[in-house]
Amino acid sequence: MKFLKIPAATITRLSIYSRVLEDMEKQAVPVISSKLLAELCGVNPAQIRKDLAYFGQFGVRGVGYYVKELIFDIRKILGLNKEWRVAIVGMGNLGCALIAHGNFAKQGYRFVAAFDADPMKIGRKLATGLVIQPVTEIVAVCRQAEADLGVICTPAEAAQDVANRFAQVPIKGILNFAPIQIQLPDGFKVENVDFTVKLDNLAYHLTAG
């Protein structure tokens, strides 16, 4: 599917388009133009058309895009036409909040394993029915549970060790909430979510901008 080089930003935007489109669908909007979608997403209309053009032709000239079809097409492009099985490590406040968070399930992500290093927490049953298991079992349990993706919510010190275990499974996609740059061989993809980096951006813009 990947003939041209797709900008990383394009993928991120497709994800946002799909979120906005789902909203439109809920409001029973049947068709949308790149102009309106662009406004709702805060981007340029040509950007949207170009992003989609990397993957094919999805619109109707003179009309626009059929909302329902476009949602389907984008989800297919992103690989969301399957259930993704997610393992999560570090069941502190944040880890528990993520499991309880409704948006993951809605988008097709399902938590299939949970781990923690704290012996006090092991064996505890979470709201979803998952039982917390020891981090030493990550490789075995994730293989058994056929996990595709890993989420790291541990303190920074533990994050690299967890990533190494994920790598052995192998789990090739990791969402990392620890404020540290994880080092992994090529072929592994780490996405970082760093709240303080975002806050630092705000601080800078309010200070200098």
Q: Which one among 16, 40, 41, 43 touches DNA, defined by CB under 7 A?
A: 43
66: its two tokens: 């059929």
3-state SS, one letter per residue, for 120-143: CCCCCECCCCCEEEEHHHHHHHHH
**60 or 101, CB closer to its own copies?**
101
99 near 88, Cβ under 8 Å? Answer: yes
HSE value, Cβ hemisphere, 13 Å, CA-based, for 102: 0
Q: Which one among 29, 30, 63, 198 touches DNA, defined by CB under 7 A?
A: 63
**46 or 199, CB closer to its own copies?**
199
Using CB distances below 5 to 8 A depending on partner kind, what does residue 52 bind out of its own copies, DNA, none? DNA
CB contact set of 71 (below 8 Å; sequence gap of 6+): 18, 21, 22, 25
User: Does the footprint of DNA cover residue 52 (CB under 7 A)?
Assistant: yes
Q: Which helix (H) or strand (E) holds 115?
A: strand 109-116
**86 or 138, CB closer to its own copies?**
86
List contacts with its own copies (CB under 8 A): 1-2, 8, 11-12, 14-16, 18-20, 23, 40-42, 77-80, 84, 86, 92-94, 96-98, 100-101, 103-104, 107, 109, 148-149, 172-175, 179-181, 183, 189, 191, 193-209
